[in-house]
């Protein structure tokens, strides 16, 4: 997919991130796309639920799994305003997401850029091939959140 297609879906992530921010949460929004159609969405909501597992990416994965009635999300693309954290990375690998499109690299707690790069790990055979990673899509717009 070209950057225009990525920009379109990242705009939806930005809309979701703005909702999270207006709720007093970190401005993170995520969606799952299969065959060009959004099948799952999530916003950061850990403070509201008093539960750290309510990250935008995990909520989008839960939503997509319910939509497809399976935890196997092979062939799906995750779009997110921020690089998925280590916790989210585990769930992404478990559900076999094929590609991740993110705006901002997060560093020490990132699922790719930290010292625990689960998103690119090949040592866990059950996870199969790591997802393709694309960073920097609408990065400045996401940083402005």
Q: What is the CATH number of the domain that holds 125?
A: 3.40.140.10
Backbone φ and ψ for 142, nearest 5 degrees, come out as -75, -35
Residue 145 lies in a domain: no
DSSP state of 51: -
- Classified as helix, coil or strand, 61 is helix
Residue 7 lies in a domain: yes
Whole-prediction pTM: 0.95
DSSP state of 62: H
137 φ/ψ sector (left φ>0, alpha ψ -120 to 50, else beta): beta
Domain ranges, residue 15: 3-140
Catalytic positions, please?
57
Total of domains in the chain: 1
- pLDDT of 107: 86
With a pLDDT cut of 90, the percent of the chain lying above it is 94
Residue 102 lies in a domain: yes
């Amino acid at each position: 997919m070209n950057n225009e297609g990525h920009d379109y879906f990242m705009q939806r992530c930005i809309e979701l991130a703005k909702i999270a921010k207006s709720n007093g949460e970190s401005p993170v929004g995520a969606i799952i796309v299969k065959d060009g159609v959004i099948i799952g969405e999530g916003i950061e909501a850990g403070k509201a639920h008093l539960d750290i597992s309510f990250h935008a990416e995990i909520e989008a994965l839960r939503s997509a799994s319910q939509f497809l009635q399976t935890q196997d999300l092979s062939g799906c693309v995750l779009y997110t305003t921020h690089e998925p954290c280590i916790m989210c990375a585990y769930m992404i690998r478990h559900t076999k997401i094929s590609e991740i499109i993110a705006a901002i690299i997060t560093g020490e707690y990132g699922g790719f850029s930290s010292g625990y790069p689960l998103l690119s790990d090949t040592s866990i055979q059950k996870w199969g091939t790591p997802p393709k990673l694309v960073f920097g899509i609408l990065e400045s717009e996401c940083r402005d959140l």
